[in-house]
């Protein structure tokens, strides 16, 4: 059994532990062996502490031997995107400016995972400060797509998606500011979910755009996503944007079949920009819902075209403010070439930040500058309200919305590096849900002729994650595309 432990879902591992068929130490060793075997090709991890991983596993087995199991994730590994604080572990945000930084505290999601007995393991690669759609912007090298190592895994949470796809971890955490969980989930053929804004605490997350960022799960199955979301959700007084909502039992709710439901297809999301194979596979997934007894109707989200420009004003403005703290003075890289106080600030940031981070900070600072604030940032916030109202009107007609997750399958490494606009359009179907603060999920819906995964994007109503998970699970339990394993 130890030879196949790394291929099991989190739910299966939990059941095997509860039945005494395996141990947390055996599970940990299996994933260490898997990472050693394949991560040189994939490069999902930036850092691993295998000794600490095994120590956590021993502690889990000790608890279980005394009949003190902490729940279904006790003894199950969860790897973490390198923007989430884990006490005593490095946090680089894939940037040179934080090259030597070690977290002095745990993020709230990590506290919750540790209370649940999960084995918190490893730091996963990303686009620097979560700014990108390909995980090529990492200062420590790109992550490769496990289904085709010459292709990108998506981004910014590319390491988190690739680790699950390559079976280097059964569960991972990512962050989603404009699609950074869902787009790489689609490109790597796994499940990725962005919860409602405020449902999961952001305390301990290195901030990119504070009004957009959310932490969420990656997994092979919707069932596993529900288990992880259950653990990390809930109000947190340490996060002023955390919403005091009761956390439902997401896992138990999956047993109830949804429907019949009204599902909306926004006409603005099915234009000419979609790759034909993506369109075909998404259409087949939509037909599944029709055959399952749900009503599928066309709807309109007329402000969709504004999503990209609105996002790249609001997100960059917030990024320029958030990243001002990395100043070369306190806990970041400090330039050896600095000759005065201004040099420390300018040269440390110039050396520490990559090109994409600099581009976004400059754009954001411009949008917030005197004389331009009203023309750009304020207008973007007003347009954001109109985008949110589009969704409110749509949800008066439908229970959930179906779209492609990404307009294309995974593209080749380097293909869009010289064209930032083409890279930004990778998230054209995911950005609007961040602007509206809604929950959304990508579930694998098949493979192209070249063997690349495609994702179906399902958008739910605010704080109705239970309904969203049921809709996704209805498809996932029948097709199980996320259970397929790439040949590495």
pLDDT digits (tens, 9 = 90+) for 199-220: 999 999 999 999 999 999 999 9
Kindly give the residue spans of alpha helices, DSSP state H, lying in 43-153: 50-65, 108-115
Residue 418: predicted pLDDT: 83
Contact 344, 352 (CB under 8 A): no
With a pLDDT cut of 70, the percent of the chain lying above it is: 99
Which residues are catalytically annotated?
A: 81, 156, 180
Beta strands across the sheet bearing 171-176 = 45-47, 119-124, 77-81, 171-176, 214-219, 191-194, 440-447, 453-459, 400-404, 262-266, 295-299
C-alpha 214/C-alpha 195 separation (Å) is 7
Q: What is the mean pLDDT of residues 285-295?
A: 97
* pLDDT, tens digit (0-9, with 9 covering 90-100), for 363-403: 999 999 888 888 899 999 999 999 999 999 999 999 999 99
Question: Long-range contacts of range 325-331, CB-CB < 8 Å, 24 or more positions apart?
Answer: 326/97, 326/98, 326/352, 326/353, 328/352, 331/98, 331/101
Higher-confidence residue of 91 and 424: namely 91
- Give CA angle at 126 (165, 190), nearest 5°: 20
Domains for the chain: give ranges and CATH numbers.
5-262+398-483 (3.90.1300.10), 305-381 (no CATH)
Instruction: With cut-offs at 50, 70 and 90, classify the pLDDT of residue 420.
Output: confident
Q: What is the mean pLDDT of residues 443-452?
A: 98
In this prediction, residue 374 carries a pLDDT of: 86
pLDDT in tens, 221-258: 999 999 999 999 999 999 999 999 889 999 999 988 88
Return the pLDDT at 1. 58
**pLDDT tens for each residue of 297-316:** 999 999 999 999 999 999 99
* DSSP E strand boundaries for 351-466: 400-404, 440-447, 453-459
Task: State percent of the chain over pLDDT 90.
Answer: 92
pLDDT in tens, 311-344: 999 999 999 999 999 999 888 999 999 889 898 9
Write out pLDDT tens, residues 64-105. 999 999 999 999 999 999 999 999 999 999 999 999 999 999
d(CA 213, CA 107): 14
* 146-157 pLDDT per residue, tens: 999 999 999 999
pLDDT for 2 equals 60
Q: Convert the pLDDT of each residue in 171-200 to its tens digit.
A: 999 999 999 999 999 999 999 999 999 999
Using CA atoms, how far residue 416 sits from 135, 152, 269, 454, 469, in Å, is 12, 10, 22, 19, 33
Task: Give the pLDDT band (50/70/90) at residue 260.
Answer: very high
CB proximity list for 84: less than 8 A, separation 6 or greater: 91, 107, 109, 110, 173, 175, 204, 205, 206, 215
pTM: 0.97
SS3 state at 441: strand
**Can you give the three-state secondary structure of 155-181, one letter per residue?**
CCCHHHHHHHHCCCCCEEEEEECCCCC
């Amino acid at each position: 059994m130890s030879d196949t432990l790394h291929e099991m879902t989190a739910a299966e591992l939990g059941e095997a532990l509860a039945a005494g068929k395996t141990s947390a130490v055996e599970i940990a060793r299996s994933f260490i062996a898997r990472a050693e075997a394949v991560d040189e090709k994939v490069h999902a991890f930036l850092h691993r502490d295998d000794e600490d991983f095994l120590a956590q596993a021993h502690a889990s087995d000790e608890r279980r031997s005394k009949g003190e199991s902490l729940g279904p994730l006790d003894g199950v590994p969860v790897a973490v995107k390198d923007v989430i604080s884990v006490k005593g572990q490095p946090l680089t945000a894939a940037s040179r400016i934080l090259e030597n930084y070690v977290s002095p505290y745990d993020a709230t999601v990590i506290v919750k995972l540790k209370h649940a007995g999960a084995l918190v393991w490893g730091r996963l690669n990303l686009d620097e400060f979560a700014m990108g759609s390909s995980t090529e912007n990492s200062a420590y090298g790109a992550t490769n797509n496990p289904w085709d190592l010459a292709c990108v895994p998506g981004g910014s949470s590319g390491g988190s998606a690739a680790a699950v796809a390559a079976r280097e971890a059964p569960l991972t955490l990512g962050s989603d500011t404009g699609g950074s969980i869902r787009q790489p989930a689609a490109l790597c053929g796994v499940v990725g979910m962005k919860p409602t804004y405020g449902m999961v605490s952001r305390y301990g997350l290195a901030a990119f755009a504070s009004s957009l960022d959310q932490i969420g799960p990656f997994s092979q199955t919707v069932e596993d996503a529900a288990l992880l979301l259950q653990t990390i959700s809930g109000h947190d007084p340490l996060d002023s944007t955390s919403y005091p909502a009761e956390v439902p039992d997401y896992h138990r709710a999956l047993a109830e079949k949804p429907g019949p439901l009204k599902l909306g297809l926004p006409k603005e999301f099915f234009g000419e920009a979609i790759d034909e194979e993506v369109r075909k596979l998404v259409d087949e997934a939509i037909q599944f819902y029709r055959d399952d007894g749900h009503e599928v109707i066309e709807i309109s989200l007329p402000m969709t075209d504004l999503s990209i420009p609105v996002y790249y004003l609001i997100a960059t403005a917030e990024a320029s403010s958030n990243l001002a703290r990395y100043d070369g003075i306190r806990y970041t890289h400090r330039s050896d070439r600095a000759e005065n106080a201004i040099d420390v600030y300018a040269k440390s940031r110039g050396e520490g930040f990559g090109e994409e981070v600099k581009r976004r900070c400059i754009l954001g600072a411009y949008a917030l500058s005197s004389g331009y604030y009203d023309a750009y940032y304020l207008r973007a916030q007003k347009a954001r309200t109109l985008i949110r109202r589009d969704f409110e009107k749509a949800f008066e007609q439908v229970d959930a919305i179906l779209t492609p997750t990404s307009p294309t399958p995974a593209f080749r490494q380097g293909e869009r590096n010289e064209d930032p606009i083409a890279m930004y359009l990778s998230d054209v179907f995911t950005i609007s849900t961040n602007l509206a603060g809604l929950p959304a999920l990508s579930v694998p819906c098949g493979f192209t002729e070249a063997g690349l995964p495609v994702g179906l994007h399902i958008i739910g109503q605010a704080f109705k994650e239970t309904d969203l998970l049921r809709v996704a699970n209805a498809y996932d339990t029948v097709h199980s595309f996320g259970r397929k394993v790439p040949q590495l």
